[in-house]
Structure 1
Amino acid sequence: MTTAELYKELNFVDHSREKRLYYANLVIDNPELISKLMAILFMVNDKISPRAAWVLEFMCSKNITLILPYLDEFTEKMNLVHLDSAVRPVAKICELLTIAYTSKDRNNVKQELKPIHKERIIETCFDYMINDEKVAPKAYAMNTLYLFGKEYDWIHPELALILERDFHLQSAAFKARARHILKKIKKA
């Protein structure tokens, strides 16, 4: 399947779990499509870009190791994604990578996620926290930053500062997640 053919296929992806899963499985079964899917994701002003992000997120949820050969490209370009419906899955992929990286279980993410990738993820997540993003990307970013804060001691104080500063301005969902993360930071 060419990039153009995949682009046409992505027109059929909608918010339903069923469609996202169908196309994620298609990509899992045909890993050569991952680079094409990412090319479409990084057409950041295109209305199909979020659909590529949804599929990539579902693929990563099922098998995070499939994105490992593309970490350089993903982490280098993820900060360019700006459409709300594409930002959320990108933030979720960052969280999935971080969860795998900080897991006690042995996995390939621990070897493949290099310091430059972590730096880019951390920077993008802080951008999500201070920019005018929706609650979901902020929630994923909070958790990602909390987890990386166990390795980088400067992150927890910065994250706590942002959460406390923005607390009164945010939604109930943000406040609930922020309370949870702040409690974990204070314990650590």
Structure 2
Amino acid sequence: MTLEQLHKELSYVNALRANRLKYAKIILDDLNLLPKLITVMFMTDDKVSCKAAWVFEYVCSEYLYCIVPYLEVFTKNIHKVHFDSAVRPVAKVCEFLAKANYSKEPNPIKSMLLPKHKEYIIETCFDWMITNQKIAVKAYCMNTLYLFGKDNKWIHQELAQILEQDYTGQSAGYKARAKHILKKIKAK
């Protein structure tokens, strides 16, 4: 399948879970399509990029390690994603990577997620925390930053400051997640 064919195919993706899974299975069955999916996902001014991001999230939720050869491309470009419906799945994949990095189980993410990749993720998550993003994005970013803060105390300090400053003006969902993360930071 060419890039153009995949782009056209992705235009048929809709918000239904079964539909997203169907397209994720196409990618999982032929991982040679993954770099093309990533390319479409980073066509950030194209509405189909959102649909590519949805599929990418499902692919990574099923088989996160497929991202390993593309960590550089993924982490270097995440800051470019700007449509709300694309930011959420990209933030979720960042959380997947952080969880895998700190998992007790051995996995390829631990050795392949380099400091520069982590920097890109951390920087983008902080940007998303201080800009007008949906609660789901901020919740994924809180978790991601909390995990990366285990090795970098400054991250916990900055995250705690943002959460405390924003706390009063946010939704109940944000407050609940922020309270949980702040409690974990203070316990360290």
TM over 0.5, shorter chain: yes
Are 2:175 and 1:186 aligned? no
- Find the counterpart in structure 1 of residue 56 from structure 2: 56
Whole-Å Cα distance in 1 between the matches of residues 8 and 185 of structure 2? 45
- Find the counterpart in structure 1 of residue 91 from structure 2: 91
Whole-Å Cα distance in 1 between the matches of residues 21 and 152 of structure 2? 35
Consecutive aligned runs of 4 or more in structure 1 exceeding 6 Å deviation: none
- Find the counterpart in structure 2 of residue 107 from structure 1: 107
Deviations 1:24-78 (A, max 9, x none): 1110111111110011111101110000000000000011100110010001111
- Find the counterpart in structure 1 of residue 140 from structure 2: 140
Once the two structures are superposed, the pairs formed by residues 25-44 of structure 1 within 5 Å of their partners are: 25-44=25-44
Whole-Å Cα distance in 2 between the matches of residues 45 and 165 of structure 1? 32
Identity rate, percent: 56
Whole-Å Cα distance in 1 between the matches of residues 63 and 20 of structure 2? 14
Please say which of residues 141-150 and 9-18 is displaced more in the overlay.
9-18
Pairwise CA distance, 1:11:
1.6
SS of corresponding position for 1:154: helix
SS of corresponding position for 1:32: helix
Pairwise CA distance, 1:125:
0.5
- Give ranges in structure 2 of 5+ residues lacking alignment: none
TM-score, structure 2 normalization:
0.99
Are 2:16 and 1:10 aligned? no
Deviations 1:143-162 (A, max 9, x none): 00000110111111110000
Whole-Å Cα distance in 2 between the matches of residues 178 and 14 of structure 1? 31
Whole-Å Cα distance in 2 between the matches of residues 91 and 119 of structure 1? 14
- Give ranges in structure 1 of 5+ residues lacking alignment: none
TM-score, structure 1 normalization:
0.99
